Chains A and B, each alone.
Chain A
Amino acid sequence: MPLGRRRSEPSRAETAVNRRMFMKALALGMSVPAAMRLAKMATAATTTAPKRLLVVFIPHGTAPEHFMPKVTNYNPLAMANYTDFALDQTNVSILAPLQPYRSYVNVYQGFQYPGAADTHTGIVNCLSGTQYTDTTTARTSFEQVIAQALKVKPLILGACSHITNGLDLNGMLFWNGTPIDPEKNPAKAFDALFGNLGAAPPPNADVQLSKDLQAFTISEIQGLQTTLQGLTTEETKLATHLASAQQVLADQNTVMPPSACTMKPMLTSVEMVRSQSNGNVPDPGGGNDYFYMEKNFPLLFAAQLELVTQAIMCNAAPVIGLMPMYATCNFDFTFANAPGSHHLTLSHTTPGWNTTPPYGQYNSPVDIANLNPMTRMPFAIAQKWFWTQLVTKVIAPLATTDDPAAPGTKILDNTLIYVMSEIGDGNDHNRVSEILYPQTPDSLPLVTIGKAGGAITAGQVVQFPVADKSTAGNVNRPAADLYLTIAKAMGVANATFPGMTGVVPGVLT
């Protein structure tokens, strides 16, 4: 700053925002220090409220004849943004729970995961935009990219999110260079997020020494790299380790947003899990681990959803990933009134044809009416169960709770929830959005809910063309474009993703 010039003082408007934010935060029960930090943070970010991102996986695709929104003047072969649509008029209507929140919803049709992949094993690349199908080549899923850019630590949760004896490739959805094992114990995640509420911060010495430790270990790894120079594979292995150690050090410098909660919340399902799993001995090689047992899945999922909602409400985790089950999981869904194993019985139900003209015939219109909706009702009911849980436990609370960080808005206004699957049609296993035989539009089931602080124009069906499988890749939009769009909506200006072509038109405000 040139000599003689004073550092600029906050403007009168900024001071007013500071004071107004501060008073509002106090009124909502925040502590004075937290309210102060929040007020300063909001001002520092000009007029934008803190944004939250939640990525949710629903395994095994969908049944389009029960999923697709009913759109007025719909043409699946054209590119368009539709605003006149309903989510509860499509047979079982998997998305019906979202209908009351339609103004927050975008359904994306005509997208693809590029590259070949073997059925469900394509889960290993669908959130990164890459085409790697192996389990070791480095890649980064988009929520990690966003979290790193925002300098926040993402919270990755799972409910029975991989097989019992380890992280198999069908469980490798989230990546940060290497696959991430979702936190399967909601009580443990709760304690990490809320356990220190009201507690004194750690002694300063420990904070500094922890960083000193990381620097020490980094130097050891570098020393070993020098020793092993020439052993190419092991050098690369150590390079990964080095980057990881550096990331741990960087994480220690990450300042999470101030909590909007001063008291430890009471989450019923989380406490039930805590009680039931008391004394659980981790059993990575077998099936006696509470957190892998099929019978516990519904409660574990419920607990993770409760935790997600509370983490968002308290601003405790701005970026969250949630993975219930893993691809090819065969849990029986009798509990959801859909008897049968989810993968082999339900998702692999072959669609039935409607042969009443003009449907189910050669040259029929491309329409879900070509399929007999009765055939896959159990699968649709199972998939609808996921949405019902998500709406009941997450979307509805967020849509009806005032955002303490942004007066006049609801939390869902400043949140973006991205729901996806690793394939399109549960039986067809498509990774492109295609015309499924006979003449059925079959898109990847991709949905956002929320407006990301006004950055997202919601209330749309965003349609790119479907086509015959052999040409669909030429007209579909890559899912990486959605990741780019979401990143920009979250305030990340310079994110890049493999295979991206640009932001999705009509989605960013």
Chain B
Amino acid sequence: MTSRLTMAGLALAAAAGCAGAGQVGTGTGGNSGPGSGGIGNTSGSAGGTGTAGSGAGTGTAGAAGSSNPNFQLACSGPSMGRPFLRLLTPTELTNTLSDVFPEVKGMWTASLPASTISAHGFDNDGSAQVGAQLAGAIRDTGVALGTALVGTPLATILPCSTSSPNHACAETFLNKYGQRLFRRPITTAEHDKYLAFFDTSMGKSDFKTALKWMTVAMIQSPNTLYRSEIGTDSGGGMRQLSPYEVATELAYTYTGSTPTDSLISMAGSGSLGDPTSVAKTMLATTAGKQTLQRFFEQYLSYATVTSIQKPNISTFGSVSDDMVQETHSFIDQIVFQNAGGLKSLLTATTTNPSKALATYYGTGNANTVAFPTPSADYASVTRPSGQGIGLLAQGSFLATHAGADTSSPTQRGLFIFYKLFCQPKLTPPANVPPLDTTTQMTGINTTRDRYEMLHAGMNSTCSYCHKTFDPIGFGFEHFDEGGRYRAKEKTFDINSSGMISAPDGSTINFNGEEDLVTAVANQPVIHQCMSAYLAAFAYGSDEACLGASQVTALQSGSIGIAEAYARLAAEPHFTQRSSQ
């Protein structure tokens, strides 16, 4: 093949990682036959926190956060993390304001910058901070909403604004919205302070202007922006979260928005009940399902398929949106309708394409088997035998874990390596050593040939790591860069067989994606790993073992992923924290 494709493989060597930061198994790389690689046992301790640094020039001092990318899976039981203030994500803040002020929905625009991404790929990291840019954007968002609020809708929202626009009317507004925004009754001190601010503002302007700025003050208050998970000291080195804090945690974890008036009232009267029951009720709602769907979007990074291009597949752009919906519908069916677990997601023989997507899937190179057409867009169909099973055979995953013009055993292998086996993150080398590309290479015809030649045949810096995950990715070689099944790569036969050492010490022999994912789905570690990712998403923390109670049930298949996510509300960390 052309030297560019060999270099693409080399590039992936550099991009994926070679110098090990954790324990990596040993194995031998293959050449033309099946490759083998070793997977180390997962162990290790959580990383320490960084130290605060000083800004350069006139920069501001800031806080360090923990950013340990590795999970500790060996847990003797669930642990409790530290107390913290958890900043609302842009999505959560927008949802909150929309829910608290439905009367002005569509009349204001949030102008919030993107969240930073945690080491585990989630946008709801609990260590997120309010920088200057975000502070300004929150203020601008508040001003936009406040300006809309004191316009035409005000008369409906606050009838006294027409009849008696005064201090008492502002107090009515404060009492109504303060509790929803702060997610607890406002204190007497807060009440007095906000009304004093209103009075001063009204003295400089008029009722509506003063009300607008009081609204902005409430919106950008730290009491609104942070979910308090601080609690109070309950002795024995523990802190007990208040009912209001638990209600807030339930609402954001299971609906992505602020608690309803009803939930706040229940918290106030001590009648929240069993958090898990509340969580299940919430998860069954549209907002609840969207929250868990967001977990999968970020865990799999599949939604980004609509933003990429495949220059050699002219029809790709017309179906990339459908790929997202396919995966969304598939998850809805497996996780919510069927209460399925990870094994079901990985090994289901059905999928949910649109009609156009089904046609697209049948156009892979040298493929003579038509993909079944669904009765309606996104209805379930049974996949053709031998053409993949489960989530990892869907276009959204395959296309986002590939190059622009080539498949990628490294990217696909790394997904399983990191996201299902939870192997320690590897450190890429600082540079890629030059490769002699002038010597003619015979017998190098397919992507696999090139990867095996480059990554196994190179100096030990690259092969040491790549032999642990590239062979996993070879199982996907019958799928091209656009997620279509291909019988051949150009005119060459494809070898998608392999042999890897699994985390449980067994050897996995596979021939193709179906064999591979079936074997992977039987590995106990994937349930520990999924549990850790669910906990990291739910709690916004990378502290170890916070959601450890669910693992056994998840592993046995007695509960599905939705149930496991709901049961995180029953973990000690959900209602208590360890004192610092």
Closest to B87 in A: A237
- Contact mask B522-565 → A, CB, 8 Å, 1/0? 00000000000000000000000000000000000000000000
Contact of B59 among A144, A179, A236, A285 (CB under 8 A): A144
> Is A271's beta carbon under 8 Å from chain B?
no
Q: Is the CB of B62 within 8 A of A137?
A: yes
Q: Is the CB of B60 within 8 A of A287?
A: no
A residues 139-171 in Cβ contact with B at 8 Å = 139-140, 142, 144-145, 148-149, 162-169
B435 to chain A, nearest CB (A): 5
> In the complex the two chains form, what is the Cα distance from A340 to B134 in whole Å?
36
Q: Is the CB of A247 within 8 A of B132?
A: yes
Q: Is the CB of B8 within 8 A of A344?
A: yes
- Contact mask B269-303 → A, CB, 8 Å, 1/0? 00000000000000000000000001001100101
Q: Is the CB of A234 within 8 A of B85?
A: yes
Q: In the complex, which residues of chain B have a beta carbon less than 8 angstroms from the beta carbon of A101?
A: none
Closest to B113 in A: A181
- Contact mask B405-446 → A, CB, 8 Å, 1/0? 100000000000000000000011111111111100000000
> Is A339's beta carbon under 8 Å from chain B?
yes
> In the complex the two chains form, what is the Cα distance from A334 to B429 in whole Å?
29
Q: Is the CB of B131 within 8 A of A240?
A: yes
> In the complex the two chains form, what is the Cα distance from A164 to B123 in whole Å?
11
Contact of A241 among B57, B222, B324 (CB under 8 A): B222
- Contact mask B62-97 → A, CB, 8 Å, 1/0? 111101000000000000001111000011000000
> Is A221's beta carbon under 8 Å from chain B?
yes
Given contacts A241-B135, A344-B12, A348-B7, contact A140 B306 (CB under 8 A): no
B residues 354-388 in Cβ contact with A at 8 Å = none
> In the complex the two chains form, what is the Cα distance from A203 to B117 in whole Å?
39
Q: Is the CB of A286 within 8 A of B297?
A: yes
Q: Is the CB of A341 within 8 A of B204?
A: no
Q: In the complex, which residues of chain A have a beta carbon less than 8 angstroms from the beta carbon of B63?
A: 136, 138, 233, 236-237, 239-240
- Contact mask A280-314 → B, CB, 8 Å, 1/0? 00111111110011110000000000000000000
Q: In the complex, which residues of chain B have a beta carbon less than 8 angstroms from the beta carbon of A496?
A: 56-57
Q: In the complex, which residues of chain A have a beta carbon less than 8 angstroms from the beta carbon of B209?
A: 205-206, 209
- Contact mask B317-356 → A, CB, 8 Å, 1/0? 1001100100000000000000000000000000000000
Given contacts A137-B53, A166-B115, A286-B306, contact A240 B62 (CB under 8 A): yes
Contact of B230 among A228, A240, A243 (CB under 8 A): A228
Q: Is the CB of A344 within 8 A of B403?
A: yes
Q: Is the CB of B56 within 8 A of A345?
A: no
> Is A351's beta carbon under 8 Å from chain B?
yes
> Is A48's beta carbon under 8 Å from chain B?
no
> Is B506's beta carbon under 8 Å from chain A?
no
Q: Is the CB of B301 within 8 A of A378?
A: no
Closest to A498 in B: B56
Closest to B63 in A: A236
B residues 106-134 in Cβ contact with A at 8 Å = 110-111, 113-117, 123, 127, 129-134
Q: In the complex, which residues of chain B have a beta carbon less than 8 angstroms from the beta carbon of A295?
A: 309, 317
Q: Is the CB of B304 within 8 A of A287?
A: yes
Given contacts A293-B306, A344-B8, contact A209 B201 (CB under 8 A): yes
A residues 311-365 in Cβ contact with B at 8 Å = 328, 330-332, 334, 339-341, 343-345, 347-353, 355
Given contacts A237-B63, A284-B115, contact A178 B56 (CB under 8 A): no
Chain A: how many interface residues by the 8 Å CB criterion? Answer: 113
Q: What is the number of contacts between chain A and chain B, taking CB atoms within 8 Å? A: 353
Q: Which of B213-221, B260-268, B461-469, B488-496 touches A? A: B213-221
Q: Is the CB of A285 within 8 A of B303?
A: yes
Given contacts A166-B115, A352-B438, A378-B4, contact A209 B205 (CB under 8 A): yes
Given contacts A205-B204, A287-B304, contact A220 B222 (CB under 8 A): yes
Q: Is the CB of B56 within 8 A of A213?
A: no
Chain B: how many interface residues by the 8 Å CB criterion? Answer: 100
A134 to chain B, nearest CB (A): 5
Contact of B297 among A210, A285, A294, A430 (CB under 8 A): A285
Q: Which of A17-25, A124-132, A444-452 touches B? A: A124-132
> Is B50's beta carbon under 8 Å from chain A?
yes
> In the complex the two chains form, what is the Cα distance from A332 to B3 in whole Å?
17
Given contacts A166-B115, A378-B4, A429-B431, contact A140 B64 (CB under 8 A): no
- Contact mask A167-207 → B, CB, 8 Å, 1/0? 11100100111111100000010000000000000010110
Q: In the complex, which residues of chain A have a beta carbon less than 8 angstroms from the beta carbon of B11?
A: 343-345, 347-349, 427
> Is B15's beta carbon under 8 Å from chain A?
yes
> In the complex the two chains form, what is the Cα distance from A142 to B197 in whole Å?
38
Given contacts A137-B50, A176-B133, A284-B114, contact A149 B57 (CB under 8 A): yes
> Is A79's beta carbon under 8 Å from chain B?
no
B4 to chain A, nearest CB (A): 6
> Is the contact region of chain B dominated by helix, strand, or loop, or is it mixed?
loop
> In the complex the two chains form, what is the Cα distance from A293 to B308 in whole Å?
7
Closest to A289 in B: B307
- Contact mask B495-508 → A, CB, 8 Å, 1/0? 00000000000000
Q: In the complex, which residues of chain A have a beta carbon less than 8 angstroms from the beta carbon of B115?
A: 166-167, 284
Q: Is the CB of A180 within 8 A of B131?
A: yes
Q: In the complex, which residues of chain A have a beta carbon less than 8 angstroms from the beta carbon of B438?
A: 352-353, 355
Q: In the complex, which residues of chain B have a beta carbon less than 8 angstroms from the beta carbon of A234?
A: 83-85, 230
Q: In the complex, which residues of chain B have a beta carbon less than 8 angstroms from the beta carbon of A431?
A: 430
> In the complex the two chains form, what is the Cα distance from A221 to B226 in whole Å?
11
> Is B521's beta carbon under 8 Å from chain A?
no
- Contact mask A418-432 → B, CB, 8 Å, 1/0? 000000010111110
> In the complex the two chains form, what is the Cα distance from A381 to B79 in whole Å?
54
Contact of B433 among A247, A293, A430, A437 (CB under 8 A): A437
- Contact mask B1-26 → A, CB, 8 Å, 1/0? 00110011011101100000000000
- Contact mask B126-151 → A, CB, 8 Å, 1/0? 01011111111001000100000000
Which of B61, B82, B135, B304 has the most A CB atoms < 10 Å from its CB? B135
Q: Is the CB of A166 within 8 A of B7?
A: no
> Is B49's beta carbon under 8 Å from chain A?
yes
> In the complex the two chains form, what is the Cα distance from A234 to B130 in whole Å?
12
> Is B580's beta carbon under 8 Å from chain A?
yes
> Is A11's beta carbon under 8 Å from chain B?
no
A485 to chain B, nearest CB (A): 14
> Is A224's beta carbon under 8 Å from chain B?
yes
B193 to chain A, nearest CB (A): 8
> In the complex the two chains form, what is the Cα distance from A498 to B59 in whole Å?
12
Which of B62, B91, B193, B403 has the most A CB atoms < 10 Å from its CB? B62
Q: Is the CB of B131 within 8 A of A136?
A: no
> Is B234's beta carbon under 8 Å from chain A?
no
> Is A84's beta carbon under 8 Å from chain B?
no
> Is B311's beta carbon under 8 Å from chain A?
yes
Given contacts A166-B115, A340-B4, contact A251 B12 (CB under 8 A): no
B118 to chain A, nearest CB (A): 9
Q: Is the CB of A220 within 8 A of B221?
A: yes
Q: Is the CB of A353 within 8 A of B14?
A: no
Contact of A232 among B65, B217, B305, B580 (CB under 8 A): B580
B579 to chain A, nearest CB (A): 9
Given contacts A217-B217, A350-B434, contact A165 B131 (CB under 8 A): no
> Is A26's beta carbon under 8 Å from chain B?
no
The 24 listed contacts between A and B (C-beta, < 8 Å) are A119-B428, A119-B430, A136-B65, A136-B67, A136-B127, A139-B53, A140-B58, A167-B114, A167-B115, A169-B117, A172-B116, A209-B209, A234-B85, A237-B63, A238-B222, A287-B305, A287-B306, A288-B307, A344-B15, A345-B8, A349-B4, A425-B431, A427-B431, A497-B57
Give the 5 A-B residue pairs with the shortest CB-CB distance, closest first. A140-B59, A178-B131, A348-B11, A138-B62, A145-B57
Residues in B lying within 8 Å of A, measured CB to CB: 3-4, 7-8, 10-12, 14-15, 49-65, 67, 82-85, 90-91, 110-111, 113-117, 123, 127, 129-136, 139, 143, 193, 197, 200-201, 204-205, 209-210, 213, 216-217, 220-223, 230, 294, 297-298, 301, 303-309, 311, 317, 320-321, 324, 403-405, 427-438, 580
